[in-house]
Structure formats: C-alpha cells, structure tokens
Amino acid sequence: MKVIGISPHRRNFLRKAVTAAPAVALLAGAGIGVAASVAPPGAYQPTYFSADEWRTLTALVDRMIPASPEGPGAVEAGVHAFIDAQMNTPYAHGRLWYMQAPFAPDSKPEFGYQFHMPPRDLYRSGLAGLDQAAQSRFRKPFADLEPAQRDTMIVALEQGLLAIGEVPPKTFFGQLLANTREGYFCDPVHGGNKDMAAWRMIGFPGARGDYTDWVEQYGKKYPLPPASLA
Amino acid sequence: MTDLTMKPVDVVIVGFGWTGAIMAKELTEAGLTVLALERGEYRDTYPDGAYPKTIDELTYVQRGKLFQDLSKGSFTFRHAVADVAVPYRQISAFKPGTGVGGAGLHWSGQHWRVLPEELQLKTHYEGRYGRKFIPEGMTIQDFGVTYEELEPHFDFVEKVFGTSGVAYKVNGKIVGAGNIHEADRSADYPMVPQKVPYTAHLFGKAAKEVGLNPFVAASSNASGPYVNPYGCQMGPCNFCGFCSGFACYNYSKASPNVNIMPALRDVPHFELRPNCNVLRINLDSDKKKATGVTYVNADGKTVEQPATLVIASTFAYNNAHLFLVSGIGAPYDPVANTGVVGRNIAYQTMSTVQMFMPMDTNTNPFIGSGGNGVAVDDYNGDHFDHGPLGFIGGSPVWCNPAGVKPIAGIPVPNGTPTWGLGWKKAVKDNYLNTVSFDVHGANMVYRDCYVDLDPTYTDHFGTRLLRFTFDWKDNDIKMSQYVTGKMLDVAKAMNPTSIHVAQKKLGDHLDLRSYQTTHWAGGTAMGTDRRTSVLNRYLQSWDVHNVFAVGSSVFPVGIGYNPTGLACALTYWAARAIREQYLNDPRPLVSA
C-alpha cells in the first residue's frame, strides 16, 4: 500500500481504521455523542423504539434499500439501528431546528418543513399510523406484509396518498428517506453503514482525506479501501 | 435593563467572520482599542477541524455542526408582499455560519473579484442598451466605487488569503492562461493554481472544443506552503474533499481563524469575546451618534458596551437586521417606495448540469478542494451582447470538484426512483462516473424583494426575526435558461450517456428545500444617493456617522461571482477611509 506525504500519526490512524473494526473506543467523541458500539444487526436492542415500532421501522428500511447483489440492504447496513441511535440526539428532539409556533403545515411546499413534530414524535406517530393503515388495508401489521405490499404502501406515502394519522404522509416519507440515506452512507461511528459496505459498493474512500498524489491520475480507479472513524 | 456596563473601547466590532477580522486587524494597526463581539463560540483549526473526526459528513453537513443554531433564531420567508411569511425551520437552501470565523470557517474557498461593469450596473446597462432596457420594478444601481479604486484591495485580499490562481493580464500585459475577461490586475496571484481534478479537466477540454475560453479558477485553498503578509502560515491542500461545511484540518483553506487570528492574538489592545449576542447598536438622544452596543453574554446577562466607533460586520442580511432593530436609517417600504434599510436583497440564480458518463470512467469525485476547478466566463456579466436577448445579467460557469460525499446526494440520471433497488443500482453505477457543473447566475434586485422585521416570530432573545420577501423574476430565469442552454453544448461535447439539467422555469418560486448557495447580498446598500442607499461609498452610515457596515450586505445589486473577494476588498477600502480620513476628524465622509 502506497502511503505518501502523511505524518506517522495519520498513517497509524489509517492503518488502524482499515484493520481494527472493533476498536470503537479508539477515537471517541465523533461530535454528537451517539453510542458508537454497534453489535451485529440481529442483536441490536433499540433504545427508543418499542418492539412494535422497531419491527415496522425494520420492515420499512428493508424496502427503502433492499438487499441485492450490488451491495448491502439497509437492514444489513444497520440503518434501523442508526435511526434508533439518532433518536437520542438533540437533532431528534428538534433542537437543531427553529420550532417556534405558530406552525403552518399547509404552506406551499417550497417553504420546506413546517410540521410541528420533531423526529422522535414524528416517527412515534407515523410508524403507528402506518401500521394501522396496513391493518385496515391488508389486515396485517406492516411488518408482516409481503415486500410488494410494503412497496405499494411506500409509494403511496411518497405520493402523499396514504393517510397515517397526524403526520402528513409526504412529511413522514421525507424524514424516513433522509434518515435512511444517512444511516446507509454515514461513517460507521454513527451506527450505520456497517463494515463500510455501502461505501465499498460505490467506491467512496471515507475518512482517508488525502489525495494529493491521485488528483491527476485521470480515470484510474482509486486502489485503497475506505477508512472509518469507528 | 442592563446588568453590567463595561469599560469603554475605541471600536466595537459586531460579528467576527472575514470582514470583522479584517477590521480588527486594520483598526488595531491604527492603534485603536478594539473589541470584537461574536455571538457564537470560540473556534479554531484545533479542535474544531481536527483530523480525523472532522471527516464526518453526517455531523458537519446534515447536522450542520458549524452552522447557525436555528433553534435560537432563524428567518422567515414569503414570496410576495401580501403573503404571510413562515420560518426557515431547517438549514437547507443556505447555510449561515456562527462562531469565531463565521461562515469564513466553513466556506469552500472560491475566490473572485468583481466585474468592473457590475460595480456600475445601472450606468453600464443604460449606457450600452438605453434606459428602457431596464425592466419595470428592477432597482439596479451603482456601488459608487470603481474597480480601479478597489484594485489594490483585491490584490491585498488575495495575498492575505494565499489565493492560488493564474492571471491573464497584469499591468496591461498578457502574462498567463487566466480568464481573458478578467479586468487588469496589479499583480499575479500569490500562488500558482491548484492541480486540476479529472472532472474539471473534462469540462475544460469540452469547453475549449466548443470555442469557449476555460481557465483554472482561483481558489483560496493553498496550492503550496505559504506565509501571508500578516505572517500567518498555510499548508498545501491535499484534496481531502471536506471543505464546504467543515473547518480545514490542514491549514489549507483560508479562514479568519488561520489567516488573520494568529496576527491578532498577541495584540494587547485587541479583545475577542465569543458567546456575546449583540441586541442593538445604542444611539444618543438625537440619533446622530452611536454610543456603543448592548449584548447578552454567555451567562445571559445584558451588558452595555460603550464604544466610540461601531462596525457592523455580521453575515450579509444580518446587518440590515441590526440596523432595523437599532433604528439606524429609515426602514424600506416597498409599497410607498420609501426608506432604504432592507431594500435590494439579492441571491444567486443557480442551475446545475450533470453528465452521466459510461461505466469505468472513474471520475473519482471524492477528490476535491472547495474552491478549485475550471471555469468559463464567456456568459458572465456583459461579456456577450444582451441587446437581442432582452435580459440583464449573466453567469459564470464552473466545474468545481469540491468532494462529492455520499449522503448529501449522489447524482442519478433522470427517471431514477428515490428509493428501492432502482435507486441503489443508480448510485452504485454513477458515483464514480459523473461530471457536474454549475451555472452560478447573478440575481438582479427588485422593488418587492427586500427584508424587514417579521410581525410574528422571534429569536431566543425575543427579538423579531428578519423577514425575507423574495421570489424569482422572469429576467433572471431567462438569463439562467439562456446561459444553461449555451452550456449544454459543453455537456454534449463530453459524450455522456445522459444529461440531467436542474434549472428554473418561468413562474418557478424560490424553493428553500434544497441547497442552492449561501450568497445572499444587500439590505444595507452602499451608494452615492442616500435616497437609495444606507451607506455612503465608504460604507459609513448616512445617518449615524460613527457606524460603518461591512460584508455582502453593502452590495446594492447581486453579482455573478461568489461574494467573499468583493466583500473583503470593500472592507479594506472602508478601513482605509476610516484610518486616513475619519479618525483624525470624525464626521460624515460624504455630505448628503
């Protein structure tokens, strides 16, 4: 492996980052205080979502990014675990947003998010509403639906055609889509993108952060595997 | 209402980004006691940009760690004067900064001057095309300062920033392969241009093939080791791809923290107080002179700070907010067409063109440097005949490989679903095989695009939020469509598999949902006529002569380029006026 122009300190970091996946305590404090340790997806115990919510969320993200030969599915990548971990951050409490009333949820869409719930409440309400919608339509909880049935419901959410209670369907879909992509492509330090598999799929080198010798190698595939903060 | 009164200072600076830092340097050099108040926290390369934890897209881009904390205060928006405004609740279309360094810590580093004709936009267009060419409701005017007057300051700014680039003309002689449209310079850039990544190379090659004049754009990302005139050091950029939204861990991207702060730290008559949110500039009883400012400190105490001279150097629109809440100048009323504070707000009219290339093109888009790239200026400003086209303004165009990160959005071809297997396959196939360029259009100013105080929403301190009344106009959309259409020839010359064009259509409204640019301008315009400007040509308030405002708020019109180079050159221009004309005889420098 060719390593040029970086300090021994950085070189050590990169080596560790590539080889030492379990060493999560190595570089603690990635910024927002998320629990960094991630067990295999099957064993992850949600800290915010109830058992029913967790099943619904898992079944949702499983269809948002399904497993396929191209690369990991959202469940394999730990997207649901990421979303659960995020629920304990200031972000999910709405503390990064301007949340002063009055809210005008019927504003033109160009004005962006105008709904009163922060992510924690939005998921709580929306997941329950989605499950109820599945019950009334298919007489089953959402998590027990066939993949094609779940897809139909997600399409309806995206188009704003599926009522799920208080949360406008498009608002719920937008939140889910944003958090799914985040959990899929974030640094594994945040609990998603397990084993950097989503980065490997697309060819993103993660936290390497040093490409001076590669800028002018036009059209050549970058040879090094990704590096993570975890 | 005041809990504490502090010892008087000569100068109080409100906001410590680029322009506040420049003023602090200039006015301490003049021997004055200078206090800078910054609403956000103290920040520096260490720890705020420390490797490796800074290389974290989620924390810095999606969660916006270095951006303004909207939970404490935001803005409201509406499209028209008769509408009710709603808050900008999440950071999306623009990314205001906070903290020491301001947006200058997390900017990307694209470095431009200004086109001479944009400083005299009204005079120029009326002269070349006639008075009737300016559409009804468009309120363009002149800055009141010329390119020649600002040239020494542009040059010095580039030396302070360690700008990497290549000139075209220096002192009238052609010296290099720079922008053929660039106005004359007194010196070349202090550093050679950065290396050119693959996508920018492909863009430049295609632009040349269709007869345009591409050049390597100037960036304030260091192409090599550098020491600026203040003795501050920069290290060569290594193209890590984490510029915009981040503090540079490598001391390569110019920032107030890297390029100015080290020279201020040991100055005994300079003090920087972070976590101090200025509520208002205080005026004496006849409102002709400022007596200082009132701010809230980190402990929540209300503090009065007496000062002889006040510099408003907040981000862009915030200077208008500060003037409005302080009662400096008459608030603009678009219906009566009276007043000036808040008038002439401009944004940028962006479009983006993405070329999807065959598999295995390997554009390696993770390699990037914020300001780096190849640009074309042939359709900017008045570099082309507007006569038959019927619109005013133009667009610089660039391929700016700044590091494409995966969460923020991997470009996918038209028709790709937003989720599911189709999306997954598209991101896998296209991440390494896409080229993208931006058409960074100017935005003109209009009678009904302005800022004032919102009647409903307030910030953390109970102050009314700034309200934007703003929408797109046909002139600007026609301009953007014309330039984007011309640039499609460049896109096609790259022989892509498909092209995606994101551009505005006539009738489209300002859409705050996805990132466009943070380049707002105006609100406290400079000018030569106090009926249409808040500041005189030296950036001094017409009404309160010991208040000066700096930053892009002083632009009376929008410009095609990114604003930082011009905002900083104008700050040095104002600082010179203060040092050479004002201090020995404090008075209005221009009689109204």
Q: Is residue A220 part of a domain?
A: no
**Side chain identity at B415, as an amino acid letter?**
G
Domain hosting A44: range is: 8-214
> Do A71 and B428 lie within an 8 Å CB cutoff?
yes
Which residues of chain A are within 8 Å of residue B74 when distances are taken between CB atoms? 98
Which residues of chain B are within 8 Å of residue A36 when distances are taken between CB atoms? none
Domain count, chain A: 1
> Do B73 and A98 lie within an 8 Å CB cutoff?
yes
Question: Which of B46, B56, B68, B515 is the mutation pick for testing A, counting most A CBs within 10 A?
Answer: B56
Which residues of chain B are within 8 Å of residue A187 when distances are taken between CB atoms? 55-58
Which residues of chain B are within 8 Å of residue A205 when distances are taken between CB atoms? 366
Q: How far apart are the first and last CA of chain A?
A: 21
Q: Is residue A224 part of a domain?
A: no
What confidence score (pLDDT) does residue A42 get? 54
pTM (2 d.p.): 0.94
What is the distance between the alpha carbons of residues B156 and A101, in angstroms, rounded to a whole number?
A: 47
Task: Please name the residues between 515 and 574 in chain B that touch chain A, using a CB distance below 8 Å.
Answer: none
Q: Are B75 and B469 in contact (CB under 8 A)?
A: no
Q: Is residue A106 part of a domain?
A: yes
Q: Treating both helix axes as pointing N-terminal to C-terminal, what angle do A169-185 and A79-86 enclose, rounded to 10 degrees?
A: 110
**In degrees, to the nearest 5, what angle opens at C-alpha A15 toward C-alphas A9 and A19?**
150
Question: Mind listing the pLDDT tens digit of every residue in chain A (230 residues)?
Answer: 333 333 434 444 444 444 433 333 333 333 333 333 444 545 799 999 999 999 999 999 999 999 999 999 999 999 999 999 999 999 999 999 999 999 999 999 999 999 999 999 999 999 999 999 999 999 999 999 999 999 999 999 999 999 999 999 999 999 999 999 999 999 999 999 999 999 999 999 999 999 999 999 999 999 999 999 98
**Side chain identity at B10, as an amino acid letter?**
D
What is the distance between the alpha carbons of residues B500 and B479, in angstroms, rounded to a whole number?
A: 19
**Which of A66, A100, A112 is closest, CB to CB, to B420?**
A66
Q: Is residue A75 part of a domain?
A: yes
Q: Is residue A199 part of a domain?
A: yes
What confidence score (pLDDT) does residue B299 get? 97
Cβ–Cβ contact A211 with B under 8 A: yes
What confidence score (pLDDT) does residue B66 get? 97
Number of CB pairs, chain A paired with chain B, less than 8 A apart: 193
β-sheet bridge partners, residue B86: B77
What confidence score (pLDDT) does residue A16 get? 46
Q: Is residue A138 part of a domain?
A: yes
Which residues of chain B are within 8 Å of residue A86 when distances are taken between CB atoms? none
Residue B20 CB burial class (10 angstroms; 0-12, 13-18, ≥19): buried
Cβ–Cβ contact B587 with A under 8 A: no
ipTM: 0.96
> Do B239 and A181 lie within an 8 Å CB cutoff?
no
Q: Return the DSSP state at B212.
A: -
**Which of B57, B71, B86 is closest, CB to CB, to A114?**
B86
What is the distance between the alpha carbons of residues A102 and B76, in angstroms, rounded to a whole number?
A: 12
What is the distance between the alpha carbons of residues B353 and B98, in angstroms, rounded to a whole number?
A: 31
Q: Are B275 and B40 in contact (CB under 8 A)?
A: yes
Q: Is residue A168 part of a domain?
A: yes
CA distance B576 to chain A (A): 39
**Which of A70, A91, A189 is closest, CB to CB, to B63?**
A91
Q: Which residue ranges form the domains of chain B, and what is each CATH number?
A: 4-582 (3.50.50.60)
> Do A215 and B418 lie within an 8 Å CB cutoff?
no
What is the distance between the alpha carbons of residues B376 and B359, in angstroms, rounded to a whole number?
A: 27
SS3 B225: coil
Whether B153 is catalytic: no
Spans of chain B below 50 pLDDT? none
**Which of B62, B73, B427 is closest, CB to CB, to A202?**
B427
> Do A202 and B65 lie within an 8 Å CB cutoff?
no
Q: Is residue A221 part of a domain?
A: no
Among B16, B83, B19, B10, smallest CA distance to B550 is for B19
